[in-house]
Structures are given as C-alpha cells and as structure tokens.
Amino acid sequence: MNLTMTSDESFPSRFIQTGGASDAAYFIAEQAQKGRRLLQSSYSLGLEAKGVFEDLLKVAEECRFPNWDGYGAAPVMNETFWQAYRFLDALPFGFPAPSVGAEPDGHLTFEWYRSSRRTLSVSVTPEGDLHYAALLGPSKAYGTEPFIGDVPRLILELIHRVIYL
Amino acid sequence: MTGETTLPPITEDEWLARFVLFRRWIRSSDRSVRPDAFIPHPYPNLSVTRHVGLAEVVLWQIGQEIADTRPARLHGRADFQAHTVTKRLLCIAPTPEPKNHANITGWPPDKPSQKIIAQEIAAEAQFMPKPEH
C-alpha cells in the first residue's frame, strides 16, 4: 500500500462526483473540488491546516501491517484510507477537527471529544459504511450510515451536539 | 507462565486492566483512553488482566510480558471495575492461563453496538501510564 499524499495534491479525479455525464458537468465539478481544496487549506476554516489529513496519513501508515496493536489487529487497507480521506474532505468548512485513530478490525476512526460523557466516534470501513457511537451526557446514539460523498446529516448533528450543546 | 487456579470468583468491584500497546489509543488532550482500545478483534472476546492478588509491580510485569511476546511497546493500561462491563450485559470469564487472565465475553455481533459499549467502558476507565523506570 502506498499512501503518499501532499497537502497540495489535487483530489483524485476518480472521486469527483458530478450530477451529469457531460464534459461541462465534469469541469464544473472539478472546479468546485479545487475550490474546496483551497478552503480546506485555509487556516481558519480548513482541516488541512489543522493537520488532520496529515494525521490520517500517519495513522494509516502506522496501521498498515497486521498486529499493529499487539493484539492481532487487522491492517488498515488502502480502500479504508481513501474512504476516510473522502469523509474528511466532505466535512463542512468551519466544523471542528476530529482526532484520528484506528480500531483492531482495521477501520479508521474520527473522534470528536469534549469530555468522557460527551464524545462521538465514527468508524470508516473499506466499503464506505460509517459506524457511529455517541455519548451525549445521559443519552447515547449509535448506528450505521452509508457514505456516498456527503457527510450524513445525522452525523453532522451529532458533532454539533457533542461540541456545542 | 503457570496459571493461577485458586483465584476467587470475580466480584463487581474488582479491578481489571486492559494493557495499551498502541500510543494512539491514548488521548493527548487529557491522557484518557479512546474507545478504540476496547473493540473486540480478532477474537469475539476482549482480553483483560485481573488485579486481584497482584502487587502493582507484578501487574506491570504481566503487561510487559504481553508486549514482549508481540513484540510491541507497553504504553500503559486502562483500569476499570468489573461492574463497568457486567452492567452492559457482558460477562467476565477467567482463563487458567496466562496468570490472572480473563476474557470479556458476550459482545453483540454488530459494530455500532460494540462501539457504544466500548465508549461507555472508556468513559469509566482510568489510564495508568507505564512507570518510568
């Protein structure tokens, strides 16, 4: 697995989604993607400047071999990295940055943590499923949402509840 | 290592340890443990060590032995009481060996249910860094 990535690397074109099949639709989507990349590198708005993309790469590299946790963990696969990358890139600008981790089954995790009883963890699978679990004071929420290019509204709401409410 | 066969039955207030061999399972902000450390894989059970009857130094020796056999670096341990898992309808099954070993069993098969339990254990666990000596 080769996970080289630099901060100014343009987003792989195979991940650009368009609403149409024409060259014009592709061009517009590509330009929009470039705009997002610029905003992500913004100090105040973007996750890139906060080092989250770099952390994601470091965690994926550290966990690319079996048994990276000493208890027989599964390796993080290339597909998992790219799904996680796309998820991060799809977060709205200005949202708080998560910390990056990994689970023994090879899933990458993003965590928004305010306290031990106010926290959200999202696991990204190689298939693009998002398994989430949140402690919200005395209540909790957990489940699975598909990731198909946009961060599910439910997860955005949970981030907001964990960090701001 | 010979297993201890005369340990008392597990009590609700008994302390258990999950050794942490991956540094990113420790939050840098407050040195607490992330739930990732409690996800059961590749086995359906979570491996822990019972504190009962062990001096602190012996507990750390067991952790170091686990790390050495992988090999991996021992960063510390997450301590939590037995009721933390039993009130989530999980069971604690002692094994004859290694010494003081037990498995937390009865995990639900689906990942979201495992995650929320792991989060609740993490919320009640206390991280103990490996002593510097």
Helix (H, G, I), strand (E, B) or coil at A155: helix
| Predicted confidence (pLDDT) at residue A31 exceeds the cutoff of 90 | no
Q: Do A142 and B115 touch (CB under 8 A)?
A: yes
Contact B94, B10 (CB under 8 A): yes
What beta strand segments (E) does chain B contain? 15-20, 46-50, 76-81, 91-94, 101-105, 126-129
Chain A residues with beta carbon closer than 8 angstroms to that of B123: 116-117, 119, 135
In chain B, where are the structural domains located? 15-129
Residue that is written with structure tokens 């070993």 in the block: B101
**Local confidence band at A10 (pLDDT 50, 70, 90 cut-offs):** very low
Q: Give Cα separations from B105 to B15, B48, B116 (angstroms).
A: 16, 11, 16
- pLDDT at position A77 is 97
| Predicted confidence (pLDDT) at residue A153 exceeds the cutoff of 70 | yes
CA distance A41 to B94: 51
Contact B19, B51 (CB under 8 A): no
Flag whether residue B122 sits within 8 Å of chain A, measured between CB atoms: yes
What interhelical angle do A78-90 and A52-62 show, nearest 10? 170
Phi, psi of B5 (to 5 degrees): -105, 0
Name the residue facing A101 among B25, B112, B124 (closest C-beta): B25
| Predicted confidence (pLDDT) at residue B1 exceeds the cutoff of 60 | no
Name the residue facing A102 among B24, B27, B70 (closest C-beta): B24
Task: Tell me how close the Cα of B118 comes to any Cα of chain A, in angstroms.
Answer: 9
The residue count of chain A comes to 165
- pLDDT at position A42 is 61
Q: Give the H/E segment covering residue A53.
A: helix A52-62
Task: Tell me how close the Cα of B41 comes to any Cα of chain A, in angstroms.
Answer: 6
Name the residue facing B112 among A67, A117, A133 (closest C-beta): A133
Q: What is the pTM of this model?
A: 0.84
CA distance A5 to A24: 28
Chain A residues with beta carbon closer than 8 angstroms to that of B24: 59, 62, 100-102
Q: Do A67 and B27 touch (CB under 8 A)?
A: no
Mean pLDDT of chain A, nearest integer: 84
Q: Do B36 and A144 touch (CB under 8 A)?
A: no
Chain B residues with beta carbon closer than 8 angstroms to that of A104: 36, 39-42
The DSSP call for residue A122 is: E
Helix (H, G, I), strand (E, B) or coil at A115: strand
Name the residue facing A70 among B21, B43, B115 (closest C-beta): B21
| Predicted confidence (pLDDT) at residue A9 exceeds the cutoff of 60 | no
Q: Which residues pair with A103 in a beta bridge?
A: none
Residue that is written with structure tokens 């590749």 in the block: B42
Least confident span in A12-26, A89-103, B28-42: A12-26
- pLDDT at position B22 is 93
How far is C-alpha A59 from the chain's CA centre?
12
Name the residue facing B119 among A135, A143, A144 (closest C-beta): A135
- pLDDT at position A46 is 64
Q: Do B112 and A104 touch (CB under 8 A)?
A: no
Q: How far apart are the first and last CA of chain B?
A: 24
Mean pLDDT confidence for A11-26: 54
- pLDDT at position A7 is 39
CA distance B53 to B71: 27
Give the nearest chain A residue to B46 (CA atoms): A71
